[in-house]
Amino acid sequence: MGSVLPAVQGFMYPNEVELQWSVLIVLYPYITGLVAGAFILASLERVFNVEAVKPTYRLALLTALAFLIVAPLPLQLHLGHPERSIEMYLTPHTTSAMAMFGFVYLWYLMVVLVLEIWLDFRKDIVLTWRASRGPKRWLYGAMALWYDNISPEALAVDDRVGKAITVIGIPSAFLLHGYVGFIFGSVKANPWWSSPLMPVVFIFSAVVSGIAAVMLLYMLTAWWRERKFDIACVDTMARFLFFAFVIDFSLEMLDLVHRIYEADESFRALDFMVHTKLYVSQIIIQIYVGTVVPLALLGLVQLVRLSPRVRSWIYWIAGSLTLIGIFAMRWNVVIGGQLFSKSFLGYTAYKMEWATREGLLPAILLMLLPFGILYVLVKLLPPWPAKPRKGDATVM
Amino acid sequence: MSDLFKNKVHLVRMAGLFLVGIVAFVILRWWMVPKSFGEYGHYRGAALGEIASLPMHYAGRAACEECHTDIVAQRKGSPHEQIGCETCHGPLLAHAEAGGEPKPALPDSRQLCPRCHSASPYRPKGFPQVVVADHAPEGQCTACHNPHAPKIS
């Protein structure tokens, strides 16, 4: 706390000087947003039959799973005693939104993602099981639940059930990320957070970040595998990204205009904060670099005919800036909401540590972990068409 | 096996797996949640008895006042009248139960008094506060102030 005191301006209450929610709490909504967004992109193809984005369907599902596995880790690292998190399920506190989220998480992980991935990959799992020997055979056999019926009728059943799960999954994805916005939006003591628009803004920003992440991953994995990616697919994703971004940005601006027009007792303090402490992260990074520039780039593609090469460069740049912008948005919500005093007469600073439990290093490692998990998942369940194998046509 | 069922065996197995998970959860819950949990509220009911059976350390003001009537008289009407004796003197159940022996050590007033009286913008206006280093660079506060009736006579 002593190291933060020199950065305090004006009047802070003693319990406000040191920030309680660190960069790890910034990661948490960022990661869950990627999960929800990636899933919503996947469900576009499944429920609304958007054929163009089909090549990304499986990759989007695996991405959602990889990030969802990591989603609770920042919270556990922040709280300490991860072994106690099971208590949330054993003795659930029904009036606590945070405790109830444990069930939303479990539902989303097991009933939505794992089931949907299993049903979609079942044919590949069975084929690999049949073609493998040794431990690999055992592993894929277990994943197939030792039942290898992949007849068209059985796969048709899988498809129907999978579709039903996707339909359930869409509101679940909204619930998953809407909850994160709800947690902030319902803190009525904090005017920076307290807004009924918060869950809605979080959902749309989640969709934006999820589409951008899957689009980049799709192009990255194609480059990695030395294949050409389907530019029509990326065009469609970029179009969705553009539209989702327009809605997201409009909602954020609506929130901003509402705050400016309402100008309640907190407004001057928050306005001062945005123009000083949050200027770089909010105005420069979130709004200009992370929103206006990618929106302009994506809009340009919609208006002007450009060569595929130029378009793909634009998608690389716009996608990366979008992800930076959404991260900045999470940062500005979580950190920004703790920088001002409830007295509206003072401001503190966030001093990020490096190699401590809540420092930058664990945050970087936690951000890299989903990619490691995704690598394993892609090895286990390749989301792209494989070379024809023996037994491909076999039907029981 | 009918064709209709044959195409759904894997789903039945998956449902079975979920069922096993749910049963395992129920067993785990039965095994891990203390039996008295929820007896009175969202906590372990038996904790009340366990906490109540912990050894006591504080005697309470009434026990002090039984013997120290002179101090009770000094404190009457003073700003410190409402402060519990053991707030400054520490827990003294053993002292009270043993009839006054051993005598507890007197608190170090240079450590104790500034806890409440060192100058701080967070304290209410009008509350007696001093910058200790300026007010009394050395010596015990009790050299000038009577802690039981803290006014310089």
pLDDT tens, A273-303? Answer: 999 999 999 999 999 999 999 999 999 999 9
Q: Which of residues 214-273 of A touch B (CB under 8 A)?
A: none
What is the average pLDDT score of chain A?
92
Categorize the per-residue pLDDT at A6 as very low, low, confident or very high, splitting at 50, 70 and 90. Answer: confident
Predicted local distance difference test score (pLDDT) of residue A151? 95
**B-chain residues near A115 (CB < 8 A):** 14
User: How far is the CA of A226 from the CAs of A215, A310, A382, B147, in angstroms?
Assistant: 17, 19, 15, 83
Q: Do B8 and A151 touch (CB under 8 A)?
A: no
Q: What percent of chain A has pLDDT over 90?
A: 82
pLDDT beyond 50 at A345: yes
SS3 B153: coil
Predicted local distance difference test score (pLDDT) of residue B102? 77
pLDDT tens digit string along B65-92? 999 999 999 999 999 999 999 999 999 9
Predicted local distance difference test score (pLDDT) of residue B152? 63
pLDDT beyond 50 at A342: yes
Q: Within a domain: residue A174?
A: yes
Q: Within a domain: residue A392?
A: no
Predicted local distance difference test score (pLDDT) of residue A64? 96
The predicted model gives B44-60 an average pLDDT of 96
Q: How far apart are CA A172 and CA A177, in angstroms?
A: 9
Predicted local distance difference test score (pLDDT) of residue A395? 36
Q: Within a domain: residue A387?
A: no
Cβ neighbours of residue A98 under 8 Å, at least 6 residues apart? A183
Q: Within a domain: residue A72?
A: yes
pLDDT beyond 60 at A393: no
- Count other Cβ atoms within 10 Å, centred on residue A289: 16
pLDDT beyond 50 at A392: no
Predicted local distance difference test score (pLDDT) of residue B1? 61
Q: How far apart are CA A42 and CA A54, in angstroms?
A: 8
Question: What is the H or E stretch that residue A220 is in?
Answer: helix A198-224
Q: What percent of chain A has pLDDT over 70?
A: 97
Predicted local distance difference test score (pLDDT) of residue B42? 92
Residue where the block lists tokens 């003073």 = B78
User: How far is the CA of A35 from the CAs of A30, A195, B7, B106, in angstroms?
Assistant: 9, 23, 31, 62
Predicted local distance difference test score (pLDDT) of residue A127? 96
Q: Which is more confidently placed, A175 or A324?
A: A324
Residue where the block lists tokens 């909010």 = A282
User: Quick one: tokens of B43?
Assistant: 């906590």
Q: Within a domain: residue A1?
A: no
pLDDT beyond 50 at A263: yes
Q: Within a domain: residue A329?
A: yes
pLDDT tens digit string along A8-54? 998 898 899 999 999 999 999 999 999 999 999 998 888 888 888 88
Q: Let me know: does A201 contact A215? Beta carbons within 8 Å.
A: no
Predicted local distance difference test score (pLDDT) of residue A303? 95
SS3 B147: coil
Q: Do B9 and A149 touch (CB under 8 A)?
A: yes
Predicted local distance difference test score (pLDDT) of residue A4? 84
Categorize the per-residue pLDDT at B123 as very low, low, confident or very high, splitting at 50, 70 and 90. Answer: confident
Q: Where are the alpha helices (DSSP H) in B2-148?
A: 3-6, 9-32, 46-52, 61-67, 69-75, 85-89, 93-97, 109-112, 114-117, 132-135
The predicted model gives A177-191 an average pLDDT of 90
Q: How far apart are CA A88 and CA A99, in angstroms?
A: 6
The predicted model gives A63-92 an average pLDDT of 94
Q: How far apart are CA A363 and CA A9, in angstroms?
A: 28
Give the total number of structural domains in chain A.
1
**A-chain residues near B121 (CB < 8 A):** 11
Q: Which domain covers residue A213, as residue numbers?
A: 9-380
> Cα A251 from chain centroid?
18
- Chains A & B: contacts with CB separation below 8 Å: 45
What is the average pLDDT score of chain B?
92
Domain at A168, CATH number: 1.20.1630.10
User: How far is the CA of A80 from the CAs of A219, A358, B44, in angstroms?
Assistant: 37, 10, 22
Categorize the per-residue pLDDT at A391 as very low, low, confident or very high, splitting at 50, 70 and 90. Answer: very low
Q: Do A157 and B11 touch (CB under 8 A)?
A: yes
| ipTM at complex level | 0.88
Q: Do B122 and A14 touch (CB under 8 A)?
A: yes
3-state secondary structure A231-288: HHHHHHHHHHHHHHHHHHHHHHHHHHHHHHHHCCCCHHHHHHHHHCCCHHHHHHHHHH
Residue B48 amino acid letter: L
Q: Within a domain: residue A4?
A: no
Q: Let me know: does B46 contact B36? Beta carbons within 8 Å.
A: yes
Taking each helix axis from N to C end, the angle separating A308-334 and A293-303, rounded to the nearest 10 degrees, works out to 150
The DSSP result for A117-169, as a single string, is HHHHHHHHHHHHHHH--HHHHHHHHHHTTT-----HHHHHHHHHHHHHHHHHH
User: Quick one: tokens of A295?
Assistant: 């929106």
Q: Within a domain: residue A113?
A: yes
